[in-house]
Amino acid sequence: MRRLDQLLSNLGYCSRREARDFLKKHAVTVGGKPARNPSAKAAPADVLIDGEPLDHPDGLLLLINKPLGLVCSHEEREGPRVYDLLPERWRARNPQVTSIGRLDKDTSGLILLTDRTELVHKYTSPKHKVPKLYRATVDRDLSPELIPLFAAGTLVLDGEDAPCAPAELHLFPDAPRTAELVLTEGKYHQVRRMFAATGATVLTLHRVQFGRLTLGDLKPGTFREVTESEI
């Protein structure tokens, strides 16, 4: 059971302060009875707003195909944000919808967004070691010697003390400047810095997979919900 004003503000319908007005303007019922008192407690499943059940009362988990040029930060001054692709009510949720880890502005591909703080902690915790698959193109032909180098778990990035965890590198004989890299951690700009440590500059970077989740045929700039059975 949660207070109605809290429930409405958690789910992005209005702020707690606006709840009394919201209840006047909308037909809100709890268990079929009209609700007027913002401090009354209700089980989310019993609430209807203008005849509709509450919008994702148990939280959102979205898989988005991030286009280039958007940031995962919430700071508007850093440029257009991935959150700007979401419906307004979802952007108004509290806790706010946030990304699980980050992709750079210049990286495209799969990123998860959620307002479930426990999932953010779970999937960004170093303990969890979710494998993340990236596809990169670089400015020079890649040598097969990089495969054991990345796999060894000894590569130390510029400015770091601890080495990178072992990472799986796949090369493509027909495309010597393309690589796929599987990381189980997420140091700042890690893929770009790992290639930089070998003298190569990453030109394009796209995340293809996060754990078992893939983009499928999701178009850039679009998202879908992730079901409980997928995580």
d(CA 36, CA 23): 6
- Taking CB under 6 A as the binding criterion, the range among 3-11, 60-68, 101-109, 123-131 that sits at the site for ligand URA is 101-109
How many residues sit in the footprint of ligand URA (CB under 6 A)? Answer: 8
Q: What is the DSSP string of 147-165?
A: HHHHHTT----TT-SSPPP
d(CA 95, CA 81): 17
Q: Which residues contact 56 (CB under 8 A, 6 or more apart)?
A: 11
Of 14, 60, 85, 103, the residue at the interface with ligand URA (CB under 6 A) is 103
- Provide φ and ψ at 168, rounded to 5°: -100, 120
Of 18, 104, 180, 185, the residue at the interface with ligand URA (CB under 6 A) is 104
When the beta carbons of 35 and 72 are compared against ligand URA, the nearer one is: 72
The verdict on whether 217 is a catalytic residue reads no
- Taking CB under 6 A as the binding criterion, the range among 39-47, 83-91, 142-150, 185-193 that sits at the site for ligand URA is 185-193
Quick note: the x/- pattern for ligand URA over 191-220, rule CB under 6 A, is xx------------x---------------
Q: Which residues contact 76 (CB under 8 A, 6 or more apart)?
A: none
Of 114, 132, 16, the residue nearest 72 (C-alpha): 114
To ligand URA, the closest distance from the beta carbon of 205 in angstroms equals: 6
Give the helix, strand, coil percentages of the chain, each rounded to 5. 25, 25, 50
Residues found in the chain: 231
d(CA 203, CA 180): 13
Of 65, 98, 107, 114, the residue at the interface with ligand URA (CB under 6 A) is 107
- Taking CB under 6 A as the binding criterion, the range among 2-10, 13-21, 102-110, 153-161 that sits at the site for ligand URA is 102-110
Of 63, 99, 109, the residue nearest 78 (C-alpha): 99
When the beta carbons of 42 and 205 are compared against ligand URA, the nearer one is: 205
Q: Single out the catalytic residue among 21, 84, 104, 115.
A: 104
Residue 208 three-state SS:
strand
- Taking CB under 6 A as the binding criterion, the range among 14-22, 116-124, 147-155, 187-195 that sits at the site for ligand URA is 187-195
Binding residues for ligand URA (CB under 6 A) = 103-104, 107, 189-192, 205
Query: Which residues are known to be catalytic?
Result: 104
